[in-house]
Structure 1
Amino acid sequence: MIDYSLYLVTGRELLPPGQDYFDSLEQALQGGVTVVQIREKNADTGEFLDIALRSKVICDRYNVPLIVNDRVDIALAVQAAGVHVGQTDMPVSIVRNLLPEGTIIGVSCNNLREIEKAINDKADYVGIGAIWSTTTKNLNKPIVGVRRVGELLQKLDGTSIKAVGIGGIKSSNLLRTLHGSVSTTNRALDGVAVVSEIVASTRPREAASKLCEILSTFRNSGSVPNAMSTRSDYSVENVLDGVIQIMSCVREHNPLVHQITNNVSIAQSANATIALGASPIMATTAQEMEELSVINGALLVNIGTLVSSAYEGMTLAGSCANAQKKPVVFDPVGIGASQFRKSAVNSLLNTWQASVIKGNAGELAALSGSNEVQSKGVDSIGSGFKDPISFVRNVARKERCVVVMSGKTDYISDGTNVAVLTNGHELLGQITGSGCIAGSCIASYCAGAMILARGENQEGKLALGDVFLGAIGGILALTISAELASLREDVKGPGTFFPALIDELSTLSTRNIRERACIEIQ
């Protein structure tokens, strides 16, 4: 049985000056490479054969299988473990007839049609990609992107075919690749193929070892704070207990909440964050994102004002937050308004993993590609989803995070459970930035959940379900405070409502939560 975990694809043209190919290969094997594919697109047959023979000797020394790219004759000559072919190379069926029984055959796949063909051809494994842009190969097909890999993996359900992700994978994006490349049925990648990260390194042993460490970390403790779970013991009582615990934690510890948000509502969001007991920092400059990720408790990314400088900051901030295992709350404001926004959201979510995605029905429909609900700018239009519970649960499974669908009724899912919340007041919809404020409330409570989890686990891994509870808590805090504000005698309309809302957020009590929360768990 081949271990596809760390699959090295060679490329002598990438070697640093003075680096010997065979020494680099041996160091990579010492660092933990589990399978090697030798690729020589420009060598003549004699040179390829010599390189393959010498590579085979080294791989045998470490009991690591050698796979030959494309050339069946070379594979036969060196008694390689397998052959890898592309879509324009020799068909799998013919390769199978030419090779000894038990030889491994892999095939490159970029889309569902190619996956289906690989299944019909009885390939042993598929290389799915390119997942990221890459300079090691001329691409004549579109980038798959992390979030589309799951759709391809799902086609492999019920088969014995293994799957390896390939294309632009390196240590800086490996965790994102592993976490995001999972189907809704939890079919994951069996390994990742790496080229330049190892071959172009002056220290290939250390490069391979670092990749192995990331693979091991992911398998043992997950990648980023999220709440994908199969937990089924949630009840209204224990959810409210968790929310109250998070609320108290935020007020006690005053976590820093980094927010890249809509310019229209920066002040409102900052004031709401302070009222809850957290501390806001509204920073967009890319140069400070790495330092801020170390000290913040959570990150909120809101694309309401999508200018190039802010987008650069968003891209780096999310990656840095993932690296620090800090919750990332993402609000794709107005995604359905333009192709530019859709493209930006797709790029951001392929670059880093969100812990929570929050949007109204129209925004989430645009995100998921559904035509059931339409949007007009930042607003939803129409009567909504026929089955909102199933919709939000499915989006959570697809995006591998908690999903909050805001509206008159709020739906929050971790991919298994769905919380249905019916608190709130119509005045919330009559003030600027109420949706942005909701994101700030969720981020503040997710920061509190992170503090609680770190108190129980020094490695900083969130306990199962904490982000789910943080999202529920953030929505309840805002909607219950809105109800309380609307009851005040000094509130005459939207103009007097917002100051009252901030007051009520700052004085919200555990008793208010327990007595007023209108919540069901599905």
Structure 2
Amino acid sequence: MASAKPAVDYSIYLVTGRDLLPPGKDYLESLEESLQGGVTVVQIREKTADTGEFLEIARASQVVCRKYNVPILINDRIDIALAIGADGVHIGQSDMPFSVARRLLPASAIIGVTCNTPEHVAQAVRDGADYVGIGPAWTTQTKKNLSPVVGVRGLKELLAPLGTSGVKSVAIGGVKSTNALHCLHGAVSTIGHTLDGLAVVSDIVASPQPRDAAKRLAVIVQAFKSTRFNSFSLSHSTCVNFRELYTPEIIKASVGKLLNAIRTHAPLIHQITNTVVTTQSANATLALGASPIMANAPEEMADISKIEGALLINMGTVQALDGMLEAGKHANLNRNPVVIDPVGVGASQYRKECADALLNTFQATVIKGNAGELATLAKSDEVLSKGVDSVGSGFADPATFVLNLARRERCVVVLTGATDWISDGRVVVRLSNGHPLLAQITGSGCLVGTCVASFCAGASLVAESREPARELAHGDMLTAAIGGVLALTVASEFAAAREDVKGSGTFLGALIDELGALTPEKIAQAAKVEVL
């Protein structure tokens, strides 16, 4: 083996699998094309080959990898690694113990470890591993006896034990170009530790064009690493600086611009919502100036995602989970904002499982819910959820709660109630508008989700016109969430003040009227905004 441990770029970590090659595709040809596409490290995995065959494959693979100066690792087989002078090995939890592998291999050898639990990661750090492969992130058919899927949200828990050790990490299990960005963006520990790369098998090996497949992944990883999309800083100083960009006056002016953008362009708001509020949600969308479409069939999500301005997924009546999953995936692929309203998520185990499936399958732009719903997502017992309602005194510190949940979920979080709290993980905004009559009509919380989705579509339109020049993933969507909440709560105050409103029945119609009559000036005049 080499005398010095090589520096490894783990960005695109290819795990070979000859059984996955498409018909007519030669293994070495596929390997070389994948390296040309951007693969940065290769692990040779041969679970069924005998020693002689494995050795021959490893030697031939090494020749190709050396041509591109890409490190080569051997899965499990220390003897094969020693025989060819590989750069290192990768071992699983049921393979040779790390201490034995370390003793047998030269000090220059890289050793990586598969880790499926935080305890596995902590042990790998103590052992002195160079990197860990954490997951499985998604279901995969390339490995038998797979450990339980941890999901994207579980990856961040596996990153936590890395601390400041310097041990590198790659996500494993079902990673492909269609979920790579969600994986990178969602898997960030509480101290900001991000993945160093993605381990990929079938998305490259099974492709007839492995060069193109590898390139797609490489572009995604490089873009993530080179932009502020990755730098979702949790430091106090960054939060203070970011707050300076969000004064109440700037927020109100920006919300007015978004409302004008909605009225000018009438974006299509795709809503998979509960059956109780479909009509009023559609009417609220129209009143704001956007256009509603209520569609939940999985088969049409690819087409609708190409024309939608934003997607709202409301879990009030979970009858179209497959449609929700497909809609979210395609919205992410088309970079459309996704608003999730986990209505009644604490009411049943099934709803909890559905929420986990949604949040692990695609990246939310905004999560909006009441105290009970968000407490369920955060696995907090501060607030209890009874159906779609919250019971109990609420959060002792709602500002810190929404800040931390936004950091954990890597999105904007909206906590609705008598006072509304909104955060993107760097700044918290408190809104104090609204009227008690909102609590007396069915679906007022769902209407907030509709308004937020409409304003997110407006933010996308403003971003596309390069005005203002803010970061779409955070700045504009924070303003959009604020705008959506203000639209409904400010309109409720104007509606309640009307002489023709006698109670909840007349209030609902007046509320839709006042949404339609909103102007930037009305919002600026009435909005009660505090930046904390």
Determine if the TM-score, normalized by the shorter chain, exceeds 0.5.
Answer: yes
Aligned residue number for residue 15 of structure 2? 9
The 3-state SS of whatever aligns with 2:472 is coil
After superposition, where does 1:233-248 map in structure 2 within 5 Å?
Answer: 233=244, 234-248=246-260
Q: Are 1:346 and 2:356 an aligned pair? A: yes
Percent identity among equivalent residues? 57
CA contact (8 A) 1:227 1:401 kept: no
CA contact (8 A) 2:305 2:331 kept: yes
CA–CA distance in structure 1, aligned partners of residues 519 and 63 of structure 2: 70
Letter in 1 for 2:288: L
After superposition, where does 1:167-206 map in structure 2 within 5 Å?
Answer: 167-206=173-212
Aligned residue number for residue 305 of structure 1? 317
Q: Are 1:397 and 2:403 an aligned pair? A: no
CA–CA distance in structure 2, aligned partners of residues 49 and 248 of structure 1: 66
Letter in 2 for 1:211: L
After superposition, where does 1:60-459 map in structure 2 within 5 Å?
Answer: 60-220=66-226, 230=239, 231-233=242-244, 234-307=246-319, 310-456=320-466
By how many angstroms is 1:458 displaced? 12
Aligned residue number for residue 3 of structure 2? none
From 489, 497, 514, the counterpart of 1:504: 514
Q: TM-score, normalised by structure 2?
A: 0.94
The 3-state SS of whatever aligns with 2:243 is coil
CA contact (8 A) 1:454 1:461 kept: no
By how many angstroms is 1:369 displaced? 0.7
CA contact (8 A) 1:328 1:443 kept: yes
The 3-state SS of whatever aligns with 1:232 is helix
CA contact (8 A) 1:227 1:468 kept: no
Point out where structure 2 has 5 or more consecutive residues left out of the alignment: 1-6
By how many angstroms is 1:223 displaced? 7.4
From 20, 27, 46, the counterpart of 1:40: 46
The 3-state SS of whatever aligns with 1:300 is strand
By how many angstroms is 1:460 displaced? 11
CA contact (8 A) 2:338 2:364 kept: yes
By how many angstroms is 1:461 displaced? 6.8
Letter in 1 for 2:26: D
The 3-state SS of whatever aligns with 1:168 is coil
Q: Considering only aligned residues, what root-mean-square deviation do their CA atoms show, in Å?
A: 1.9
Letter in 1 for 2:84: V
Structure 1 residues 232-241 or 359-368, which shifts more? 232-241
CA 1:463 to 1:202, structure 2 compared with 1: closer, same or farther past 3 Å? closer
CA 1:189 to 1:227, structure 2 compared with 1: closer, same or farther past 3 Å? closer
CA–CA distance in structure 2, aligned partners of residues 220 and 444 of structure 1: 30
The 3-state SS of whatever aligns with 2:276 is helix
CA deviations on 1:22-65 (whole Å, 9 max, x unpaired) are 22211211221110001111112122111111111111111110
CA deviations on 1:340-366 (whole Å, 9 max, x unpaired) are 111111011111111000000000011
Letter in 2 for 1:498: L
Structure 1 residues 409-418 or 284-293, which shifts more? 284-293
CA deviations on 1:169-194 (whole Å, 9 max, x unpaired) are 11121121111111232211101111
CA–CA distance in structure 2, aligned partners of residues 284 and 237 of structure 1: 39
CA 1:125 to 1:79, structure 2 compared with 1: closer, same or farther past 3 Å? same
CA–CA distance in structure 2, aligned partners of residues 298 and 461 of structure 1: 17
CA contact (8 A) 1:325 1:460 kept: no
CA contact (8 A) 1:4 1:164 kept: yes
From 454, 457, 479, the counterpart of 1:469: 479
CA–CA distance in structure 2, aligned partners of residues 131 and 139 of structure 1: 15
By how many angstroms is 1:462 displaced? 2.0
By how many angstroms is 1:13 displaced? 1.6
Point out where structure 1 has 5 or more consecutive residues left out of the alignment: none
CA contact (8 A) 1:227 1:465 kept: no
The 3-state SS of whatever aligns with 2:148 is coil
CA–CA distance in structure 1, aligned partners of residues 22 and 166 of structure 2: 38
Letter in 2 for 1:204: P
From 493, 515, 519, the counterpart of 2:525: 515
CA 1:28 to 1:99, structure 2 compared with 1: closer, same or farther past 3 Å? same
Letter in 2 for 1:468: L
By how many angstroms is 1:150 displaced? 1.0
Structure 1 residues 347-356 or 503-512, which shifts more? 503-512
Structure 1 residues 212-221 or 85-94, which shifts more? 212-221
Q: TM-score, normalised by structure 1?
A: 0.96
Structure 1 residues 465-474 or 203-212, which shifts more? 203-212
From 56, 60, 81, the counterpart of 2:62: 56
CA–CA distance in structure 2, aligned partners of residues 339 and 106 of structure 1: 37
By how many angstroms is 1:306 displaced? 0.7
Aligned residue number for residue 32 of structure 2? 26
CA 1:490 to 1:403, structure 2 compared with 1: closer, same or farther past 3 Å? same
Letter in 2 for 1:419: V
CA deviations on 1:139-191 (whole Å, 9 max, x unpaired) are 34210101111121122121110001111111121121111111232211101
Letter in 2 for 1:497: F
CA–CA distance in structure 1, aligned partners of residues 102 and 216 of structure 2: 35
CA–CA distance in structure 2, aligned partners of residues 153 and 214 of structure 1: 20
Letter in 1 for 2:250: N
Structure 1 residues 233-242 or 19-28, which shifts more? 19-28
The 3-state SS of whatever aligns with 1:8 is strand
The 3-state SS of whatever aligns with 2:455 is helix
Letter in 1 for 2:258: I
Structure 1 residues 280-289 or 345-354, which shifts more? 280-289
CA–CA distance in structure 1, aligned partners of residues 147 and 415 of structure 2: 34
CA 1:29 to 1:460, structure 2 compared with 1: closer, same or farther past 3 Å? farther
Letter in 1 for 2:500: D
The 3-state SS of whatever aligns with 1:375 is strand
CA contact (8 A) 2:405 2:413 kept: yes
